[in-house]
Amino acid sequence: MAATKAEQALVDQWRDLLALHARTQCELDRVLHEHGLCASDFEVLDVLAGSRAPDGTCAYRVQEISERVHLSQSALSRLIARLEKCGLVERAMCSKDRRGVRVALTGKGRALHGEMLPVQRAVLRRMLAGG
């Protein structure tokens, strides 16, 4: 019986975590939507904003982005294409490995990220304060 109670507590904790994630994701989508973004869009912009290549540029290979965001490779590729179409990121061939593609923020993308960063962080603070 004790194992059953312990297992149920574990399952309850897991479900609470999933519910918190879902509520937070929905709230992020809601507030970012007003600016033409969803939570996943912002995550990619945020990852790119934090990158620094040895030459001073801010860029990651697509594979490096996929290691930092929770999207499938195909979903990430579609998201990057959409952000590129909006002028927020640009893709270029990797200079060291011509098979690789690097993704970097544009000036417009950096400005939008800077504008949305406090909005996203405020949602995280509010939603995770009780978590």
pTM assigned to the model: 0.85
Interatomic CA distance for residues 40 and 77, integer angstroms: 12
Q: Which residue has the tokens 């998201």?
A: 79
Token pair for residue 105? 């923020």
Interatomic CA distance for residues 102 and 64, integer angstroms: 9
**What is the distance of C-alpha 96 from the center of its chain?**
26
Whether 55 shows a pLDDT value over 90: the answer reads: no
pLDDT digits (tens, 9 = 90+) for 24-36: 999 999 999 999 9
User: Residue 51's pLDDT band (boundaries 50, 70, 90)?
Assistant: confident
41 in Cβ contact with 87 (< 8 Å): no
Instruction: Name 15's Cβ contacts closer than 8 Å, sequence gap at least 6.
Output: none
Which residues, in sequence order, are bridge partners of residue 102?
Answer: 61, 92
Overall size of the chain counted in residues: 131
Whether 102 shows a pLDDT value over 90: the answer reads: no
The proportion of the chain whose per-residue pLDDT surpasses 70, expressed as a percent, equals: 86
Query: In 5-77, where do the E strands start and end?
Result: 59-61
